[in-house]
Amino acid sequence: MLTLATTTPGEPEIFASLQGEGPSAGRPSLFLRLSRCNLACQWCDTAYTWRFTGDNRPHRDGTAFERGDNQLSLSEEDIAARLLAFLQDRLVITGGEPLLQGAALARLAALLKQVRPALHIEIETNGTVAPHTAMDLLVDQYNVSPKLAHSGNPADLALIPDRLAGWARDDRAFFKFVIASPDDLAEVDALQSAYVIPGERLFVMAEGTDSTMLRHRALWLSQAALERNWRFTDRLHIHLYGDTRGT
């Protein structure tokens, strides 16, 4: 069984859209959003995947979500059937933190690849959890988003040296750092230097859930990326659909 997020109570968050961020931005993709996370970013825009009633981890708007309305468990076979009903040849598994459910994801990926061997599977992760061995063999791309100090997570939880080093060695792994202010750039500089992250695989993205804020921050962040030979990514889905589920 896998634990999924929902779009509305009882409806799993499985949808087709354009990938909005990172190296696959603009590509037609199929999305599967899982529930649960081991971190608590104070600006998280999918807090409904983890900040349930009774969870006092900090978040900037303080909203608590009812678990029963925002979480749903389905079998791997059921999920595979739902996903294979779509025509997209790229699957993005996001969260929450998907790698917390690695064994079940391995079973799901195997079912999907049996029917559609060319399916491109991307995993979006905060980079703190090692991939399940069986699942790792079936993944084509990792979008790794380590959380900087402004996320509110302690560094010993969010920036695990062995994991960061492992992702830096994996050519399938692209790093995506969420940036809220110019002060965050020095932290990315230090991480790139410490783990020898190639600029070709390092993206910076403005934090924000509305077009006005994203465009404002893009003005100085894009210039910083140019100066450092990093890659810049926007949040295309926010400009197209707003901050909504299932997009």
Tell me the two tokens of residue 105: 């994801």
How far is it, in rounded angstroms, from Cα 93 to Cα 48?
16
pTM of full prediction above 0.95: yes
Tens digits of residue pLDDT in 68-90: 999 999 999 999 999 999 999 99
Looking at residue 44, the DSSP 8-state letter turns out to be: -
What CATH architecture does domain 2-241 belong to? Answer: Alpha-Beta Barrel (3.20)
Angle, to 10 degrees, between the axis of helix 161-169 and the axis of helix 185-195?
Answer: 70
Q: What is residue 62's predicted lDDT score, i.e. its pLDDT?
A: 87
The answer to whether 199 and 177 have CB atoms below 8 angstroms apart is no
Mark the ranges of the chain whose per-residue pLDDT is less than 70: none
Domain map of the chain by residue range? 2-241
**Residue 185: closest CA among 138, 140, 232:** 232
Tell me the two tokens of residue 102: 């690695």
Tell me the two tokens of residue 59: 């978040």
